[in-house]
Amino acid sequence: MWRNGSKLTFSLKAPVLPTLVFYGTVFSGRGEGKKFLSLPWVSRQIKEKTGFKPYLGTLNLRLTGEAAKLKKQLQKAHPIPIDPGEGYCPGFVIKAKIGVSTVAIVIPEVPNYPEDVLEVVAPFCLREKEKLVDGSAVAVEVTV
């Protein structure tokens, strides 16, 4: 609060939160994301933890070299655990954005999962909405 002559004025600045940006290219997976998201306990937990029911499929991104190194920083981005059903591995979801669209990154905790792959879920088909094809460049933003 500052005094400006006889008037009181206020200045409010929103805090600037650090953002990680992951650059990658779209590639086709093996359909495992669709199978995983079809499991009722997965779909239910993602909806509870992100606020949206996921479309049955993930957008697979092959990260650039620097973005792949940055992936380790996702632990600072408030990962939300997905508790596994019997016989499944645990994982995490992290809220993110592609453009103005709210999405979530899914990180399965499976042995030998590629460090340069990012799987993204959304309440709609990202390929259709964003007009993406294999090889399309995509930026995913995560606030930490």
Nearest CA to 94 among 110, 86, 83, 105?
Answer: 105
Q: What is the pLDDT of residues 111-143, one digit of tens each?
A: 888 989 999 999 999 999 999 999 999 999 998
Q: Which residues pair with 10 in a beta bridge?
A: none
Q: Where is 143: in which H helix or E strand?
A: strand 137-143
User: pTM (2 decimals)?
Assistant: 0.84
CA-nearest of 117, 123, 89 to 104 is: 123
Provide the terminal-to-terminal Cα distance of the chain, rounded to the nearest Å: 29
Q: What is the pLDDT of residues 82-119, one digit of tens each?
A: 998 888 889 999 999 999 999 999 998 888 889 899 99
